[in-house]
Amino acid sequence: MKYVLLGNLSPEWASKQSERVGKAKAKLDKLGIKIESVHYTQGYYDFVDVVDAPKPEAVLAFSVWYSNQGLGRIQSMPAFEAKTFEAAVKDAAG
């Protein structure tokens, strides 16, 4: 299942980019989560990642771990493909 991760960096880790990314990638690998894309943004969120996770609990575990490490905060959202959405619309109508 794909997820969009909306993230904020903690002030302590914002200037330690390579160390933060290294720690996060190691934990993602351990949880079986694959990174599809990483985008840094301006505004409310500092980054937006798209990941593929084996189960929702893996994404939850990563979010809790990220916060516990003091790296920042992550909001996760399941991301559905267009065909899945279209099927849901048809199911809702019928």
pLDDT of res. 14:
86
Range of the domain at 69: 2-93
- Give me the residues paired with residue 72 across strands: 9
Number of independent structural domains in the chain: 1
Q: What is the number of other CB atoms lying within 10 angstroms of the CB of residue 79?
A: 15
pLDDT in tens, 43-93: 999 999 999 999 999 999 999 999 999 999 999 999 999 999 999 999 999
pLDDT tens-digit readout, 25-48: 999 999 999 999 999 999 999 999
State residue 27's pLDDT score: 98
What is the domain-level CATH number for residue 42?
3.30.70.60
Note the pTM of the prediction, 2 decimals: 0.89
**Residue 94: is its pLDDT beyond 80?**
no
